[in-house]
């Protein structure tokens, strides 16, 4: 009798934790009738069983009870309905090639599939409303993905370094695109930002070197620094905040981003009052830039690595030049710092290896920073007014360039 009860109990347990799939079923299916709520189906690039990074009930809402891989398909079986895919669940599962998540799942945590470098296909059910940060960071084989209509945000670094990502659908439910969300997605050529989005984070599309145009919907109220920097093939901004020529995004007077494709010279629009952080970073084809008199500040890293830049003016009225503002502008030979400047950040002109003539017009040395200019070259000359020469030779940071000063009658 005891044996009979044991057999019945075993059969009952088996009925709870087992899941079957018809031979004709495709792993990409999302139909509840095709995939049990306590199973996750997957394939691997090497034909071997997957080893999840996390397996506890806190991660999945249920306990993993079996993991098998036969006939080219794996299945993770849990003892109850899977309600979430938690933080780091499959992080660094390098052999994971495809995965189908059951419809019972409502949330996906941080770094869930980070560094799954073989992942090419994933089915996210429509019931998912929450996705964490860095979910697909470093999924270098992922080429396309559909975000369920219900997810409200694309988290920070969600697709960071997904270098093969070409296609993605962002639903109208999304209201924010996080920092570095698509950082260095170098194959991403087009993307549609829905009218529901109100904010785009810092460096959200940084390094998307295949991106050719972007339309900012009227719903957007904020765009972070460097959001579209190092997009070397970007030729046009459309929609809200776009300049008349489509080459700049200007938000409340700050020029945030520039579309540099096929340009060697450019005149910045008159409605720009400041040059933002990373605004022209890495625009290596630009040779000449004209700043309008309306500009009063140049932000950190604004023109860094503009390695072909030969000619740029700093208008009278500019008061601050940020850190690394012109760093590694290695073709630049001369620069005039107007009388209005009161501060120059550290490394502002560091790495400008051909910069040999610096005309510094302020009578009082601006507040300086470490390594403002290239040191060590006998060719560098810093011209200051005769009456200010001793002040520059004594001023903090400026005294490091004492041997380069040349007195000049500016006034």
**In the chain, how many domains are there?**
1
Q: Which of 112-121, 195-204, 369-378, 392-401 has the lowest mean pLDDT?
A: 369-378
Which is higher by pLDDT, 19 or 73?
Answer: 73
Query: Measuring CA to CA, which residue among 180, 132, 185 is closest to residue 161?
Result: 185
Please tell me the distance from the alpha carbon of residue 171 to that of residue 64, in angstroms, as a whole number: 32
Whether 408 is covered by a domain: the verdict is yes
Q: What is the pLDDT of residue 410?
A: 80
Q: What is the pLDDT of residues 220-262, one digit of tens each?
A: 999 999 999 999 999 999 999 999 999 999 999 999 999 999 9
Angle at 363 between CA 362 and CA 365, to 5 degrees: 70
Overall average pLDDT of the 105-117 stretch? 97
List CB contacts of 79: < 8 A, sequence separation 6 or more. 16, 17, 38, 62, 63, 65
What pLDDT does 169 receive?
A: 87
Residue 340 confidence class, pLDDT cut points 50, 70, 90: very high
Provide the residue range defining the domain that includes 293.
Answer: 263-411
Distance CA 180, CA 207 (A): 10
Give the pLDDT of residue 18: 55
C-alpha–C-alpha distance, residues 114 and 135, integer Å: 6
Q: What is the per-residue pLDDT for 267? A: 98
Q: What would the pLDDT profile of 126-163 be if each residue is shown by its tens digit?
A: 999 999 999 999 999 999 999 999 999 999 999 999 99
Say if CB 131 and CB 158 are below 8 A apart. Answer: yes
Mean pLDDT calculated for residue range 331-354: 96
* Domain membership flag for residue 333: yes
pLDDT, one tens digit per residue, over 349-407 is 999 999 999 999 999 999 999 999 986 667 889 999 999 999 999 999 999 998 899 98
344 inside domain = yes
Confirm whether 212 is domain-assigned. no
Asked whether residue 309 is assigned to any structural domain, the reply reads yes
pLDDT above 50 (res 214): yes
Give pLDDT, residue 14: 43
pLDDT(35) > 60: yes
Q: Classify residue 141: in a domain, yes or no.
A: no
In this structure, what CATH number is given to the domain that contains residue 386? 3.80.10.10
Question: Residue 149 falls within a domain, yes or no?
Answer: no
Whether 199 is covered by a domain: the verdict is: no
């Amino acid at each position: 009798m005891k044996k009979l009860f044991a057999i019945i109990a075993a059969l009952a347990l088996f009925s709870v934790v087992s899941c079957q799939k018809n031979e004709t079923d495709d792993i990409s299916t999302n139909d509840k009738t095709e995939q049990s709520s306590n199973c996750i189906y997957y394939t691997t690039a090497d034909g071997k069983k997957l080893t999840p990074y996390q397996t506890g009930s806190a991660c999945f809402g249920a306990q993993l009870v079996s993991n098998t891989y036969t006939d080219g398909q794996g299945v993770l079986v849990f003892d109850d309905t899977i309600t979430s895919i938690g933080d780091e669940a499959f992080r660094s599962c390098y052999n994971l090639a495809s995965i189908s998540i059951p419809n019972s799942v409502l949330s996906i945590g941080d770094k869930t599939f980070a560094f799954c470098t073989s992942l090419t296909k994933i089915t996210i059910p429509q019931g998912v409303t929450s996705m964490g940060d860095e979910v697909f960071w470093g999924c270098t084989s992922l080429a396309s993905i559909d975000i369920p209509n219900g997810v409200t945000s694309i988290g920070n670094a969600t697709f960071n370094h997904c270098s093969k990502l070409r296609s993605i659908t962002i639903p109208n439910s999304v209201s924010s695109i996080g920092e570095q969300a698509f950082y260095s997605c170098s194959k991403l050529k087009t993307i549609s930002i829905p009218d529901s989005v109100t904010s785009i984070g810092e460096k959200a599309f940084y390094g998307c070197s295949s991106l050719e145009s972007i339309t900012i919907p009227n719903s957007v109220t904020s765009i972070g620094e460097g959001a579209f920097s190092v997009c070397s093939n970007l030729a046009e901004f459309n929609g809200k905040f776009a300049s008349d020529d489509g080459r700049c995004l200007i938000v409340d007077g700050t020029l945030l981003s520039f579309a540099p494709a096929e340009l060697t010279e450019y005149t910045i629009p008159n409605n720009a009052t400041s040059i933002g952080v990373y605004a022209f970073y890495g625009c290596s084809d630009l040779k000449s830039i004209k700043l309008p008199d309306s500009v009063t500040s140049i932000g950190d890293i604004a023109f860094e690595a503009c390695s072909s830049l030969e000619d740029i003016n700093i208008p009278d009225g500019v008061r601050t030049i940020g850190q690394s503002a012109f760093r590694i502008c290695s073709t630049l030979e001369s620069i005039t710092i107007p009388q209005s400047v009161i501060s120059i950040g550290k490394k502002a002109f560091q790495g400008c290896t051909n910069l040999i003539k610096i005309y510094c017009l302020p009578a009082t040395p601006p507040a300086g920073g470490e390594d403002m200019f290239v040191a060590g070259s006998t060719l560098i000359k810093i011209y200051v007014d005769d009456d200010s020469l001793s002040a520059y030779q004594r001023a903090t940071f400026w005294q490091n360039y004492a041997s380069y000063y040349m007195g000049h009658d500016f006034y």
